[in-house]
Homo-oligomer: A and B are copies of this chain.
Amino acid sequence: MRILLTNDDGVFAPGLRALYGALAGNADVDVVAPDAVQSGGSHSITIRHPLISQTVDVNGYFHGTAVEGTPADCVKLALSALLPEKPDLVVSGINAGLNTGINVIYSGTVAAAIEAAMMGIPAVAVSLQIYRDMDFDGAARIAWRVIDQLGRHGMAPGQVFNVNIPELKPGCPLGVRVARQSVRQVIDQLEKRTDPNGREYYWLAGDYGNLDDDAPTDRLALRDGYVCVTPLQFNLTDHALLAEMENWEWSDLG
Instruction: Give A contacts to B, CB under 8 Å.
Output: 37, 39-48, 50-53, 72-73, 76-77, 79-81, 102, 104-106, 111, 114, 118-120, 142, 145-146, 149, 153, 159-160, 173, 175-176, 178-181, 183, 185-186, 188-190, 192-193, 199, 201-204, 206, 227, 229-239, 241-242, 245-246, 248, 250-253
Instruction: Given A203-B50, A229-B245, verify A190-B234 contact (CB < 8 Å).
Output: no
B residues less than 8 Å from A118 (CB atoms):
102, 105, 183, 185-186
Inter-subunit contact A241/B159 (CB<8 Å)? yes
B residues less than 8 Å from A51 (CB atoms):
190, 201-204
Which partner residue on chain B sits nearest A246 by CB separation?
A: B178
Inter-subunit contact B106/A201 (CB<8 Å)? no
Instruction: Report the bound CA distance from A44 to B178 in whole Å.
Output: 27
Which partner residue on chain B sits nearest A239 by CB separation?
A: B180
Contact of A176 among B153, B193, B199, B253 (CB under 8 A): B253
Inter-subunit contact B104/A45 (CB<8 Å)? no
Instruction: Given A190-B77, A236-B234, verify A146-B253 contact (CB < 8 Å).
Output: yes
Contact of A43 among B43, B159, B175, B229 (CB under 8 A): B43
13 A-B residue pairings within 8 Å (CB atoms): A40-B47, A77-B190, A80-B189, A80-B190, A105-B234, A114-B236, A120-B185, A149-B251, A153-B248, A180-B239, A227-B253, A231-B241, A231-B242
A151 CB to closest chain B CB (Å) equals 12
